[in-house]
């Protein structure tokens, strides 16, 4: 087995917990949170945050929360999420994050699995979904709504005895205390609850900060949170900001993101690849005519700047591209962004180079919930584009004979809640976490992710095909929202493709097509554009691995129909079931290529 270990880790005391840094700054009057309240932006100081967390934690104790009791939070990202999370942790409770997109069925499973006694829902609409789940599983005992002043309600319940009990619990908190049960998105089967301790999360936060010290090394680092805090990636960044003393800003919504970026002016951003792809697509869409040609020049110059020693002409073109394109990208992000932290999936090399030319260093990492988010990460000074970096300090990464990526270290979870069989399948006796991902380690210890072990397609002819590289190539096309490559036990490889509605409208406008037509996705111009994308993707693989047929589906995949996970990863089995007619049509003898 190939293996590589990260550098010597930062030390973490056994008694440190996730609220330690908050209490250390509890007298600090400087700003730590910034958020929109009513019609204005509001700043919250460390002292105010500590007082608020203390009051809410005492209220949780007054409400009957005992050590180890689970509290679920189902809400979009907002300051109340962070306050509630810290309060639950301070009271020795266990935070159970839930996505606002969770269906009633998923809510019922998570609440039944954890036996959460209290749920904090963001809105009445979300509370209604939890209430429907409660009818099924009898949990939670209490349901409070953040929009209706849930934190004020809790804070009013505490008294001096509860505050004294809080202090006692804080003294007894240690790294071994369970902090959170985070359920995997689950592209197959039911979600599993990953048990993470305070030490798992504190240790991982500390090592991630050491690995990307430059990104957090500004005089006053800051970010704008818009990813769901139900995702462990966003939550680790939340803890990293609190550990480092960075400013945490909260976006109101995706719709308000452009305005909120200007208000907070973050120094670094975190997002999944689709966030940065949308940024690029929007900039490209706004450029037409001469501006469009300049944008194309900027894309070409970005590659030249990244792949060769720039000569006088390249530098001149780079200066022109900066004046006309790159600077506008920076300005649209608030003008101060220097780093983009990307996780949750692959981002194309071309986009990394484009953002780099625009002044944003893209830091990629690899991880999973079971590893407390990151297991590998780029160092800003030693980025190798096309990889997901090297192991965190103190973490070992291996690749076994099957090509599966293994992870071992203090970041690895304790197991799946109430699921010893699944735990035994994932954690071996030597402490290695079997990730289910396929990868390669290069000679310098950089990790390349090549696919998913369980998603490898075996054609009827016995050819093994990893769908992810083809899907990544297709996804890079602006029109394509989500491709799913199929062909398991079939005679050839094919693809189901959904179209981005916004981009389709723009495409129709630019090509004089009837934008309001319901069957626009079936127009020959649209099919031709997708066929070109398929042809381009096929150039990257062998003939046996190439896509011979595709179908453009009439609608995008939907989270609410269980076709996408809450983090918007396709659930192949569900998609194949829901679009079985299209699959049958592809493999019928009468099928015409690309129809």
Burial of 251 (0-12, 13-18, 19+ CB in 10 A): buried
Distance CA 64, CA 61 (A): 5
What are the b/e assignments for 107-145, b being 16+ CB within 10 Å? bbbbbebbbbbbbbbbbeebbebbbebbeebebbeebbb
Q: pLDDT of 215-245, one tens digit each? A: 887 678 999 999 999 999 999 999 999 999 9
Band of residue 188 on the pLDDT scale cut at 50, 70, 90: low
Band of residue 573 on the pLDDT scale cut at 50, 70, 90: confident
SS3 457: strand
SS3 266: coil
Structural domains in the chain? 18-173+219-266 (3.40.50.12780), 271-453 (3.40.50.12780), 456-586 (3.30.300.30)
Question: Among candidates 94, 86, 17, 22, which has minimal Cα distance to 57?
Answer: 86
Distance CA 338, CA 216 (A): 11
Question: What is the dihedral angle through the alpha carbons of 99, 103, 108, 111, rounded to the nearest 10 degrees?
Answer: 0
Q: pLDDT of 253-305, one tens digit each? A: 989 999 999 999 999 999 988 889 888 888 877 665 566 677 888 888 888 88
Look at residue 549 in the predicted model and tell me its pLDDT.
Answer: 95
Q: pLDDT of 302-358, one tens digit each? A: 888 887 677 888 888 888 888 888 999 999 999 999 999 998 888 889 999 999 999
Q: pLDDT of 377-425, one tens digit each? A: 999 989 999 999 999 999 999 999 999 999 999 999 999 999 999 999 9
Look at residue 589 in the predicted model and tell me its pLDDT.
Answer: 57
Q: What is the mean pLDDT of the chain?
A: 92
């Amino acid at each position: 087995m190939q293996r590589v270990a990260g550098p010597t880790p930062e030390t973490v005391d056994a008694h440190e917990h996730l609220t330690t840094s908050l209490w250390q700054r509890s007298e600090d009057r400087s700003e730590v949170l910034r958020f929109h309240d009513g019609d204005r932006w509001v700043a919250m100081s460390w002292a105010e945050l500590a007082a608020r967390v203390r009051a809410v934690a005492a209220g949780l104790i007054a409400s009957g929360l005992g050590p180890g009791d689970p509290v679920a939070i189902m809400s979009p990202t907002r300051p109340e999420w962070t306050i509630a999370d810290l309060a639950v942790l301070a009271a020795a409770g266990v935070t159970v994050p839930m996505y606002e997109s969770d269906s009633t069925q998923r809510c019922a499973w998570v609440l039944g699995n954890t036996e959460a006694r209290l749920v904090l829902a963001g809105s009445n609409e979300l509370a209604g979904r939890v209430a429907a789940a409660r009818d099924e599983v009898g949990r939670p005992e209490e349901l409070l709504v953040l929009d209706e002043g849930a934190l004020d309600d809790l804070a009013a319940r505490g008294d001096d005895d509860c505050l004294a009990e809080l202090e006692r619990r804080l003294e007894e908190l240690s790294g071994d205390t369970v902090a959170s049960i985070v359920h995997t998105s689950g592209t197959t089967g039911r979600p599993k609850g990953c048990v993470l301790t305070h030490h798992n999360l504190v240790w991982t936060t500390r090592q991630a900060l050491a690995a990307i010290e430059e990104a957090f090394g500004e005089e006053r680092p800051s970010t704008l949170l818009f990813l769901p805090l139900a995702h462990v990636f966003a939550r680790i960044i939340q803890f990293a900001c609190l550990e480092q003393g960075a400013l945490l800003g909260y976006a109101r919504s995706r719709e308000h993101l452009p305005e909120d970026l200007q208000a907070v002016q973050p120094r670094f951003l975190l997002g999944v690849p689709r966030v940065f792809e949308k940024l690029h697509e929007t900039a490209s869409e706004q450029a037409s005519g001469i501006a469009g040609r300049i944008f194309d020049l900027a894309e070409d110059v970005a590659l030249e700047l990244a792949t060769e020693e720039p000569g006088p002409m390249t530098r001149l073109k780079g200066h022109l591209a900066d004046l006309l394109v790159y600077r506008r990208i920076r300005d649209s992000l608030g003008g101060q962004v220097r780093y983009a932290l990307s996780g949750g999936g692959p981002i194309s090399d071309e986009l990394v180079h484009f953002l780099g030319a625009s002044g944003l260093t893209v830091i990629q990492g690899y991880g999973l919930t079971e590893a407390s988010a990151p297991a590998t990460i780029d160092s800003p000074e030693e980025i190798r584009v096309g990889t997901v970096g090297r192991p965190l300090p103190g973490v070992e990464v291996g690749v076994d004979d099957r090509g599966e990526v293994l992870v071992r270290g203090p970041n690895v979870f304790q197991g799946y809640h109430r699921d010893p069989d699944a735990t035994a399948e994932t954690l071996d006796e030597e402490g290695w976490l079997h990730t289910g991902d396929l990868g390669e380690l290069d000679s310098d210890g950089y990790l390349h992710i090549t696919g998913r072990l369980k998603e490898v397609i075996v054609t009827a002819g016995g050819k093994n095909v990893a769908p992810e590289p083809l899907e990544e190539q297709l996804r890079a096309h602006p029109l394509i929202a989500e491709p799913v490559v199929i062909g398991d036990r079939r005679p050839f490889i094919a693809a189901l493709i959904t179209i981005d509605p916004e981009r389709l409208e723009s495409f129709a406008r630019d090509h004089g097509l009837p934008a309001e037509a319901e069957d626009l996705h079936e127009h020959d111009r649209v099919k031709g554009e997708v066929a070109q994308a398929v042809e381009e993707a096929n150039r990257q693989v062998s003939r046996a691995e190439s896509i011979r047929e595709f179908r453009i589906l009439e609608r995008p995949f939907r989270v609410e129909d269980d076709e996408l996970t809450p983090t918007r990863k396709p659930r192949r089995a569900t998609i194949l079931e829901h679009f079985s007619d299209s699959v049958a049509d592809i493999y019928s003898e009468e099928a015409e290529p690309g129809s």
